[in-house]
Amino acid sequence: MTTTLCAPDAAPAGRGPARRGLAALAGLLAAAVALGVGELVAGFVRPASSPVVAVGDAVIALVPQPVTALAIRIFGEADKVALIAGTLVVVALYALLVGVLGLRDRRLAVLGIVLFGTVGALAALTRPAGQSADVLPSLAGTAAGVLALLALLAPLATAAPAGAPDRPGGQLDRRRFVLTGAAAVGVAAVSGGAGRLLQRSTEVTSLRAGVTLPTPSSPARALPPGADLAGDVKGLTPLVTRNGEFYRIDTALIAPRIRPADYRLQLTGMFDSPRTYTLDDLLARADVIERDITLTCVSNEVGGALVGSARWLGVPLAALLRENGIRPGSDQLLCRSADGMTIGAPTRSALEVEDAMLAFGMNGEPLPVVHGFPVRMIIPGLYGYVSACKWLTRIEATTFDAVDAYWIQRDWAADGPIRIASRIDTPGAGRAIPAGRRAIAGVAWAQTRGIATVEVRVDDGDWQQARLSPAVDADLWRQWVLPHDFAPGRHVLTVRATGADGEVQTDARADPFPAGATGWHSVEVLVS
């Protein structure tokens, strides 16, 4: 039985042509592994160190001008693609040859691959902005290519007599060749794919750094001196959240990487004259505004951390919608992100909430990639899931009847006004603190209306009014501080806010689902 099954695989050496064909294929697969691993390592070094890109660049630099001009005439804007394709064809032909040579003499094949790697390394090193680390992708690719080629050539002559492993005429182990070949294809595809993804992320990161933000025609109000109470109160949240510390909520496993030059914002649906905008169109507008706005997630629990404040820079949303002739029948703006996410914002809020914007700047920088680079929506007073679409690529003016956005399909409320809220930052819940005087402090927010007062209660005592940070913008949270003499024992601290519209924060507890949490934040501390 076994013999019969094995027979086709371990057949005596095939005729020369069959074996040579497989050897050529081995060369091709080894080259694919080398290129894939090279791309992967380039993903960690930098995109320009990719051997294929480096060789392509070197060719551009070496080829005489008339040839370049001809290539551009023939291929037009696809000239770069044509160049890379051409490079790959040359590599493939070379690899086929190396594979066949390897059948006769493995050392020759190894030399062939090393030569191939040397060309890649030299090309990378001699680029005008070349760095020594740029040789790493070629080195790693060469090593991987050599291993792959030896592994693939082995099954082509398994039973070769000892001492003469390179001599043709051994057994041809087809099964092993197929398995090794499949593994090589897998390694090449996975490493190459992962490498390209990594390179794209570093590429977009550097392109992002190259975006120049405009000066707003309407800047944010200057913060009065001493506006940020966090300087004096340890444990209090800063007035403005640093970008790196801003909470992040989205469904994207890998944040979309949009090249600034590729960015388009498309308006569709119920507009009289919908346009498509480039990033430069938006950056160049004369009506750029800058505002301090607190953003919150509907999933934030009472006392939770899914809230942050930033100085946003962008284009007023109402102006942009109006100049495209938004029709009165639209009550929903279906915002679509580059990753396919849909967020449905009320058209009315977009038109009427002052300072609603398409933001491209956050705290003086282009939007960070994870916060929606290059453009997102911000509508003060609405939870992020119904307003703050990141990586925004399309706004479709439509109606709530016509289409349910992502979170609405999952039964969250279609309407998402931010509830008035307050949080105790310090002392921290469950903390043991020494008796004596120290500050109770935190933040409170009621976007679009503003905070009027914050009160704190210790145990069952009276509500005491806390000192507030200066009112800067109704959309920006306010810090609050209340110094207190702590007596030994267990104490429960509770906070509540009142909005400038008179609304007193309710103590009725509600879960975040489906329309945002309510209830007072309390912390228990142990004083000794």
Ligand X SMILES: Nc1nc2c(c(=O)[nH]1)N[C@H]1C(S)=C(S)[C@@H](COP(=O)(O)O)O[C@H]1N2
CA distance linking residue 273 with residue 23, whole number of Å: 61
With binding defined as CB under 6 A, does residue 113 bind ligand X? no
Nearest approach in angstroms of CB 386 to Mo ion is 9
Query: What is the DSSP code string of 167-220?
Result: -TTS---HHHHHHHHHHHHHHHHHHHHHHHHHHHHHHHHHHHHTPPPPPPSBPP
Tell which one of 19, 20, 291, 390 touches ligand X (CB under 6 A): 390
CA distance linking residue 138 with residue 119, whole number of Å: 9
Residue 255 CA neighbour count, 13 Å, CB half:
22
- Restricted to residues 382-411, the positions that interact with Mo ion (CB under 5 A) are 384-385
- Please state the φ and ψ torsions of residue 119, each to the nearest 5 degrees: -60, -45
Helix (H) or strand (E) run with residue 393 in it: strand 392-398
Query: How many binding residues for Mo ion (CB under 5 A)?
Result: 5
Nearest approach in angstroms of CB 92 to ligand X is 40
With binding defined as CB under 6 A, does residue 46 bind ligand X? no
Q: Which stretch binds Mo ion (CB under 5 A): 56-64, 291-299, 331-339, 431-439?
A: 291-299
In sign, the C-alpha dihedral spanning 136, 138, 144, 146 is negative
With binding defined as CB under 6 A, does residue 389 bind ligand X? yes
Residue 333 binds which of ligand X, Mo ion, none (CB < 5-8 A, kind-dependent): none
Q: For residue 132, with 0-12 CB atoms within 10 Å meaning exposed, 13-18 middle and 19 or more buried, which class applies? A: exposed
Nearest approach in angstroms of CB 397 to Mo ion is 23
Q: Tokens 């402090």 correspond to what residue?
A: 441
Nearest approach in angstroms of CB 310 to ligand X is 9
DSSP 512: S
CA distance linking residue 361 with residue 90, whole number of Å: 45
- Restricted to residues 110-149, the positions that interact with Mo ion (CB under 5 A) are none
Tell which one of 206, 217, 251, 506 touches ligand X (CB under 6 A): 251
With binding defined as CB under 6 A, does residue 250 bind ligand X? yes
Tell which one of 341, 424, 439, 441 touches ligand X (CB under 6 A): 341
Q: Return the number of the residue (47 or 516) whose C-beta is nearest ligand X.
A: 516
Task: Confirm if 482 and 516 have CB atoms less than 8 A apart.
Answer: no
Beta carbons within 8 Å of 188's beta carbon, 6+ residues apart: 29, 32, 33, 35, 36, 37
Q: Tokens 């301090």 correspond to what residue?
A: 292
- Restricted to residues 294-333, the positions that interact with ligand X (CB under 6 A) are 295, 297
Dihedral Cα 64, 69, 71, 77, nearest 10 deg? 130
Give one word for 430, left, alpha or beta, with left for phi > 0 and alpha for psi -120 to 50.
left
Q: Tokens 């294809």 correspond to what residue?
A: 185
Q: Please, where are the H alpha helices in 341-427?
A: 347-352, 406-409
Q: Tokens 């994870």 correspond to what residue?
A: 370
Q: Return the number of the residue (393 or 505) whose C-beta is nearest ligand X.
A: 393
With binding defined as CB under 5 A, does residue 297 bind Mo ion? yes
With binding defined as CB under 6 A, does residue 337 bind ligand X? yes
Q: Return the number of the residue (138 or 237) whose C-beta is nearest ligand X.
A: 237
Beta carbons within 8 Å of 271's beta carbon, 6+ residues apart: 321, 324, 325, 326, 327, 397
With binding defined as CB under 6 A, does residue 177 bind ligand X? no
Nearest approach in angstroms of CB 306 to Mo ion is 7
With binding defined as CB under 5 A, does residue 480 bind Mo ion? no
CA distance linking residue 53 with residue 47, whole number of Å: 8
Nearest approach in angstroms of CB 407 to Mo ion is 8
Q: For residue 188, with 0-12 CB atoms within 10 Å meaning exposed, 13-18 middle and 19 or more buried, which class applies? A: buried
With binding defined as CB under 6 A, does residue 249 bind ligand X? yes
- Restricted to residues 247-266, the positions that interact with Mo ion (CB under 5 A) are 249
Nearest approach in angstroms of CB 362 to ligand X is 8
Q: Return the number of the residue (306 or 403) whose C-beta is nearest Mo ion.
A: 306
Nearest approach in angstroms of CB 251 to ligand X is 4
Nearest approach in angstroms of CB 387 to ligand X is 8
Q: Return the number of the residue (409 or 465) whose C-beta is nearest Mo ion.
A: 409
Nearest approach in angstroms of CB 303 to ligand X is 17
With binding defined as CB under 6 A, does residue 388 bind ligand X? yes
Give me the residue whose beta carbon is nearest to ligand X. Answer: 384
CA distance linking residue 468 with residue 458, whole number of Å: 18
Q: Return the number of the residue (379 or 466) whose C-beta is nearest ligand X.
A: 379
Residue 250 binds which of ligand X, Mo ion, none (CB < 5-8 A, kind-dependent): ligand X
Nearest approach in angstroms of CB 456 to Mo ion is 28
CA distance linking residue 387 with residue 378, whole number of Å: 6
Q: Contact positions toward ligand X, by CB under 6 A?
A: 246-251, 295, 297, 337, 339, 341, 343, 371, 384-385, 388-391
Q: Contact positions toward Mo ion, by CB under 5 A?
A: 249, 297-298, 384-385
